[in-house]
Amino acid sequence: MKHVFIVAEIGCNHNGSKELAKRMVESAKDCGVDAVKFQTFKAKDLISCYAPKAEYQKITTGTSDSQLEMTAKLELSHEDFLELKAYAEELGLKVFSTPFDIGSVEFLDSIGQSLWKIPSGEITNLPYLNRIGAIKREGKKVILSSGMATIEEIENCIEILVNAGTKECDIILLHCNTEYPTPDKDVNILAINDLKEHFPNVKIGFSDHSVGYTAAIGATVLGIDLIEKHFTLDKNYEGPDHKASATPDELKELVQNVRRVEVMAGSDKKIVTDSERKNKIVARKSIVALKKISVGEVFTEDNITCKRPGNGISPLYWYEVLGKVAERDFNEDELITVSGFEWQEC
């Protein structure tokens, strides 16, 4: 099975602190992920003063401030991001950031970002999609989240990106549910198959907002290319996304179990593996003497039976052996031999 690219979504769970963000990068590295992702935005360019908080944001951060005020506290400066990017790269991690406004797209483009993430909320933002779609850079990939989107909206978004200059084969479409945390009944992992059917020319991944890591493991079995999981050092930190994020222990378990599933998936062919082949002789049966049989006796259900081990004549030939004549003497439990019948492969 292919290697699933795992992204630890630091997002804004650093709460605007470069020091906390650095600790999160270190922890994500220890968890074994392939990449860390941040979010780049200027709150005033992203959110109007009239924008309400989502219900989950009201639950996690209260109602005393607006969405704009809440989000402004979570900004990282461009300088801080560049420092964190360099540090993560020193640790061997890939680093990228989701821009939430055109100015942030311009900044990330100016520093040569080649891996782009379009969040679910921007899937209908035509100027934004055109700007990212038009970026020309070797190795460019576009990761597209599909939370809250219909198939028709996804089709339209991909068409915009392609018309702007992005190759369809360079798009990774993520199944996603935009509720934090996503209720189990709404995770809908099997929708990945629907996306594969509708969009055969793009790669498919999974942005997991559910509690724990079970959904990510289930999605891996369906042959996805990428998993994105929100990450926090402590679910009790102040901020909108911490409670829907994986702790270091959960993220490490996610990575370890995804890697196990990659090995376990094997091929799409039912075969006898080397590890089990040796157990045929132990678990299968052969035709044996039920009691002492003398040469010349006819084999009947009264003098032969089927028992382990499985290295003699297979019970599949039971009716062909019945009625044959013993060519020699057999002791009880001895493997029956009959001319023209081969013993089983061991």
CATH number at residue 286: 3.90.1210.10
Considering the domain architecture, whether residues 216 and 277 belong to the same structural domain is answered as: no
At residue 46, the pLDDT reads 79
What are the structure tokens assigned to 319, written together? Answer: 């009716």
Considering the domain architecture, whether residues 23 and 121 belong to the same structural domain is answered as: yes
Q: In the chain, where do the E strands start and end?
A: 5-11, 35-40, 94-99, 115-118, 141-145, 171-176, 203-208, 226-230, 286-289, 304-307
CATH of the domain at 67: 3.20.20.70
Query: Where does a domain end: 265, 293, 315?
Result: 265
Question: In this model, does residue 346 exceed pLDDT 70?
Answer: no
DSSP state string for 278-301:
TTHHHHS-EEEESS-B-TTPBP-T
Please, what is the average pLDDT of the chain? Answer: 94
Angstrom distance (rounded) from CA 17 to CA 14 = 5
pTM for the whole thing?
Answer: 0.88
Considering the domain architecture, whether residues 52 and 21 belong to the same structural domain is answered as: yes
Domain range for 336 is 272-346
What are the structure tokens assigned to 196, written together? Answer: 């594969």
At residue 64, the pLDDT reads 67
What are the structure tokens assigned to 80, written together? Answer: 């801080």
Q: Are 144 and 170 in contact (CB under 8 A)?
A: no
Considering the domain architecture, whether residues 151 and 293 belong to the same structural domain is answered as: no
36 forms bridges with which residues in the sheet?
A: 8, 95
At residue 50, the pLDDT reads 81
Query: Where does a domain end: 232, 265, 298?
Result: 265
Model confidence pLDDT, tens digit, residues 166-197:
999 999 999 999 999 999 999 999 999 999 99
Q: Is 106 exposed, middle or buried (0-12, 13-18, 19+ CB in 10 A)?
A: exposed
Residue range 318-343: average pLDDT? 97
Model confidence pLDDT, tens digit, residues 15-50:
999 999 999 999 999 999 999 999 999 878 778 878
Considering the domain architecture, whether residues 175 and 241 belong to the same structural domain is answered as: yes
Question: In this model, does residue 216 exceed pLDDT 90?
Answer: yes
At residue 54, the pLDDT reads 75
Considering the domain architecture, whether residues 101 and 232 belong to the same structural domain is answered as: yes
| pLDDT: which is higher, 240 or 320 | 320
Considering the domain architecture, whether residues 260 and 289 belong to the same structural domain is answered as: no
Considering the domain architecture, whether residues 82 and 226 belong to the same structural domain is answered as: yes
Query: Where does a domain end: 243, 265, 287?
Result: 265
DSSP state string for 180-207:
SSBPHHHH-TTHHHHHHHH-TTSEEEEE
- The pLDDT confidence band at residue 51, using thresholds 50, 70 and 90, is confident
Model confidence pLDDT, tens digit, residues 141-162:
999 999 999 999 999 999 999 9
Considering the domain architecture, whether residues 215 and 279 belong to the same structural domain is answered as: no
Angstrom distance (rounded) from CA 306 to CA 288 = 6
335 forms bridges with which residues in the sheet?
A: 288
Percentage of the chain lying above the pLDDT 70 cut: 99
Considering the domain architecture, whether residues 279 and 250 belong to the same structural domain is answered as: no
Considering the domain architecture, whether residues 278 and 261 belong to the same structural domain is answered as: no
- Contacts of residue 112, defined as CB under 8 A and 6 or more positions apart, other chains included, come to 137
Helix (H, G, I), strand (E, B) or coil at 325: strand
Total Cβ atoms within 10 A of residue 87: 16
- Number of domains into which the chain is organized: 2
Considering the domain architecture, whether residues 86 and 226 belong to the same structural domain is answered as: yes
Residue range 248-253: average pLDDT? 98
